Amino acid sequence: MNIEDILRQNKIKVTKARTRILYIILNSENSISAEQIYNNCINSGEDINLSTVYRTLEAFEEKHIVDKFDLGEGRYTYCLKKNSHMHILRCSLCNREIEVPCPMHQVEELVKNKTGFTLTEHHLILKGICEECKNKKS
């Protein structure tokens, strides 16, 4: 799928800046900050300002095109939303199971940022108490 199609599919008006920003995110191996995107644009002769980059990233985030990662200390990076897999969440009381989207992406980014490790695998055991059981108890 090309970049303009992704924008159109998400009902985002195609502009040169948006196309360029999404292109940079698509072609970035690691998650990337707004400043890095901005510098990349400037280096390739794009006439753009930093607030446009921020606004565009916000719009992409709203449309679930990108994931935003909080690296702490007010630093954020962005990457294309992965087709996330699901994990099973099981109720400790009635054993009902539901699927939830993988919550590990944030952790993956933190680990990469702190240690340089790229996680290739994880196992999660999620336990909780479902709403029904919780209501019964109280």
Tell the residue number behind the tokens 């994931």, with chain if given: 67
3-state secondary structure 47-97: CCCHHHHHHHHHHHHHCCCEEEEEEECCEEEEEECCCCCEEEEEECCCCCE
Residue closer to Zn ion by CB (options 48, 104) is: 104
Residue closer to Zn ion by CB (options 75, 136) is: 136
**Does 133 help bind Zn ion (rule: CB under 5 A)?**
yes
Residue closer to Zn ion by CB (options 3, 89) is: 89
**Does 42 help bind Zn ion (rule: CB under 5 A)?**
no
**Is the separation of the CB atoms in 123 and 115 below 8 Å?**
no
In the complex, least distance from residue 130 CB atom to Zn ion, rounded to whole angstroms: 3
Q: Does an H or E element contain 118, and which?
A: none
Distance CA 88, CA 118 (A): 23
**Does 71 help bind Zn ion (rule: CB under 5 A)?**
no
Would you state the structure tokens that stand for residue 132, as one six-digit string? 């029904």
In the complex, least distance from residue 60 CB atom to Zn ion, rounded to whole angstroms: 22
In the complex, least distance from residue 123 CB atom to Zn ion, rounded to whole angstroms: 8
Distances from the Cα of 74 to the Cα of 70, 77, 93, 108, 112, angstroms:
7, 10, 40, 18, 17
In the complex, least distance from residue 107 CB atom to Zn ion, rounded to whole angstroms: 9
Site string for Zn ion, 91-130 (x = CB under 5 A): x-xx-x-----x-x-------------------------x
| Site for Zn ion, rule CB under 5 A | 91, 93-94, 96, 102, 104, 130, 133
